[in-house]
Amino acid sequence: MNMIKVALFDAKAYDKPSFEYYGGLHDIQFRFWETKLNEDTVELAKGCDAVCVFVNDDVNAKVIEKLYEYGVKLIALRSAGYNNVDVHAAFGKVHVVHVPAYSPYAVAEHAMALLLTSVRRIHKAYNRTREFNFSLNGLTGFDFHGKTVGVIGTGKIGRILIDICRGFGMKVIAYDLFPAKDSDIEYVELDELFERSDIISLHCPLTNETRHMINDAAIEKMKKGVVIVNTSRGGLIDAEALLRGIKARKIGAACLDVYEEEADVFFEDRSGHILNDDLLSRLISMPNVIVTSHQAFLTEEALNNIAETTVNNILSYFNNDGVCDNELCYRCGNIESCKKERKERCF
């Protein structure tokens, strides 16, 4: 087998060790680029067999056309989500694979960590005690036990969060277009979930149907003081509507690991710069908002699994007649569950 050359875009220091390790085991040479993949940087993929991209790389139709022109055969996402890749434009030109599960525990546990931090004011207490301020004023939270949490999306991450919430003695209701079969989950319609939930946690993919599912109309249906947690995709929430709900005192708290316009902000050190995104600045300034920079996935176990699965995806394509269990196939309509059951190439 010849050396497989892969251009890995938006590379961070924590990406390199695991990709170098697994790539070295299988004659895969990763070329690490700190820049994101977009129309201006796509030329960096020349001479490569594949590209490896993350959530903020912009793999639109023009980029895909260039990749196809350069002879790139595979787009390997090192993430589960693929809303930043034009899968339709890729069909017939460049194959697309993803990592459907790297560590669902990492994301679910981070969602609960955000929730606990927010509700029990742990971040505020930490800052106070470092200044030897041991006052408890303004740190009152509420018990999770007996509260109703509404989980939107019951894939692996959503179901793990459900188990965690049940461990706290919380009542769980859920909404999913495709309910888990033979489960003991109480599924309800979305409007009912909005109306009944004390806490709402988002764990669904970003699609045309789910974009801005949390909007003014949805917030109007929610309980006063509701806590919203989003560790999935920023575009699930209309951030302007969220800010309005916070300022109107309808939303009691927001815990955000993702943000719709995060591409030029998250994963970078902006501490010495003026933030041009006024909306994000206003959200961060709110005392009942916690923002982490898309770090829910960031555990040792997840990084290892991402690299191992991505390398296996690449090997499956180049060494297995193009058949890969994790291919995203546009032709079949159900992008993640190809009707051909992965017995042949999608094209």
- Give the residue numbers annotated as catalytic, written as ranges: 233, 262, 294
Residue 88 and residue 328: Cα distance in Å, rounded? 10
- Name every residue whose Cβ is closer than 8 Å to that of residue 271 and which is 6 or more positions away in sequence: none
Is 192 in a helix, a strand, or coil?
A: helix
Residue 105 and residue 102: Cα distance in Å, rounded? 9
Residue 156 and residue 100: Cα distance in Å, rounded? 10
In contact, 56 and 41? CB cutoff 8 Å = no
Helices (H), the chain: 16-25, 61-69, 87-90, 104-119, 122-130, 156-167, 190-196, 216-221, 239-247, 278-285, 300-319
Length of the chain: 347
Q: Residue 216 to residues 73, 127, 241, 308: CA-CA distances in angstroms?
A: 43, 33, 5, 41
Residue 157 and residue 107: Cα distance in Å, rounded? 7
In contact, 253 and 227? CB cutoff 8 Å = yes
Q: Which of 334, 312, 307, 327 is nearest to 75 (CA)?
A: 327
Residue 234 and residue 249: Cα distance in Å, rounded? 21
Residue 193 and residue 104: Cα distance in Å, rounded? 23
Copy the structure tokens of residue 21.
């390790």
Query: What is the CB neighbour count within 10 angstroms for residue 24?
Result: 12
In contact, 112 and 332? CB cutoff 8 Å = no
Copy the structure tokens of residue 127.
């800052």
